[in-house]
Amino acid sequence: MRGYFLNIVYLGVLLIAMPVLLWRAFRLGKYRQGWPEKLWGRVPVRANPQKPAAWFHAVSVGEVLQLQRLVKEFQGRHQGWDVVITTTTSTGYQVAVEKFPTCHVSYFPLDFTWAVSRALDRFQPSVLALVELELWPNLIDEAKRRGVSVCIVNGRLSEKSFKGYARLKRMLAPTMSQIDLVLAQNAEYAERFQALGGPAARVQVTGSIKFDGVTLTCDPLKLASLKQSFQLNDASPVFMAGSTHPPEEEIAIQAWQKVRETYPDLKLLLVPRHAERFDEVAGLVKSYDVTLIRRSQPNEIHRGSKSGTVLLLDTLGELTTTWGLADIAFVGGSITQRGGQNMIEPAALKKPVLLGPNVWNFSQIAGELLESKAAVTVLNVEEIVEQLMTLLSNPKLAKSMGQAGQSVVVKHQGAVEKTLRALDRLLPVQQAGRQAA
């Protein structure tokens, strides 16, 4: 009965959102792919459905990238298994296809009873692992009806999300009670999952797999390719603003221009959080009449009449390596009300980190980076200028901040192994035994 009620609610929401979806599809090219999978559950059928399968669902690019090490090690431990990766966004799908060539990649079905039922028919998983926070009642109901183990891996429940879900606690409590295991990033998140109805015995803290997924060094060949495209030399310092949302690009440009009065060789490297904004940000840079070099168009340089060069990373899947180019890193989504983006990667690469005040999505790691003096909070253009001037004039301080950041990251590694051990306990006994010798 609940499933039919939810179908009606979902259809209502979809109808209300349809004008916006159609406009974005027409104007921005978004939401054009994956509708047979999303609406009807017409996901690809596995070539050999007799093989056991693990289904990992990651919403978008960030969650997909987090899965890389976890999936690789799962496949090493369970070589007779298929692995299914689903994602919601088109950019997430593109990255998943690239990063998981040996897995079955598909768009995620919307939570209609008919869509999730057909998807489960075709995937036939033994275990369903939802990354971070994906509470879909119809999917979980149907999976449990079929005897599929369900877990949340790398569970994250920010204060803002918790307040929203708490309003629906009565409806979500049955769903939470069906989840076999919640593997939370920290104790605070674990408490929130329990408050939503997750049985305490099924909620445990395993740490964040984001720490295990980051690299402590960059691939030299990939780094050289980026340097060549951006025409960088080791003599020019780079201020990188990564995973940015509007108006953070403009804030970064204005700060960079002021600092260039003292450090004219300083380059600015911008990496917008969303691919659909690449052209928009390129237009913004051009409006300042400075030189623009785009990663996707290295031979089509826009020459401005004013001095200074801005670099724009407008490709997918290269953010991690690009942090290696930075001398100072600003992590976006933190001056806006987005709650901050992933600051673990630049910290792991020993980059001094600048953060805005709004970092609730990563409150624990942000707090540790700030406490260890690996990061500094900045509120506006003037404070970014102040920190850039301080760090550029004091290389020893910049180096010590970078080392402190990497130490924080290394301290937290190990979550992948804990997660895999927990997942092993959910697998059917005869299938869990099929581990590599």
Contact 74, 45 (CB under 8 A): no
Alpha helices, H only, 196-274: 209-213, 220-230, 248-259
Q: How far apart are CA 230 and CA 316, in angstroms?
A: 16
Assign 199 to helix, strand or coil: coil
Contact 206, 415 (CB under 8 A): yes
Alpha helices, H only, 105-239: 113-123, 137-145, 159-166, 169-178, 187-195, 209-213, 220-230
Contact 189, 155 (CB under 8 A): yes
The Cα angle at residue 321 between residues 318 and 325, in degrees rounded to 5 = 120
C-alpha separations of 374 from 4, 281, 365 in Å = 51, 29, 11
Print burial letters for 56-74: b (CB count within 10 Å at least 16), e (below 16).
Answer: bbbbbbbbbbbbbebbeeb
Torsion sign across C-alpha atoms 378, 381, 385, 388: positive
Contact 259, 266 (CB under 8 A): yes
**How many CB atoms sit inside 10 A of residue 379's CB?**
10
The partner residues of 292 in beta bridges, in order of sequence, read 302, 310
Set 63, 248, 345, 368: catalytic member: 63
Assign 307 to helix, strand or coil: coil
Is position 63 annotated as part of the catalytic site? Answer: yes
Burial of residue 354 (CB within 10 Å: 0-12, 13-18, 19+) is buried
The residue behind tokens 């089509």 is 300
Q: How far apart are CA 52 and CA 428, in angstroms?
A: 9
- Positions annotated as catalytic residues are 63
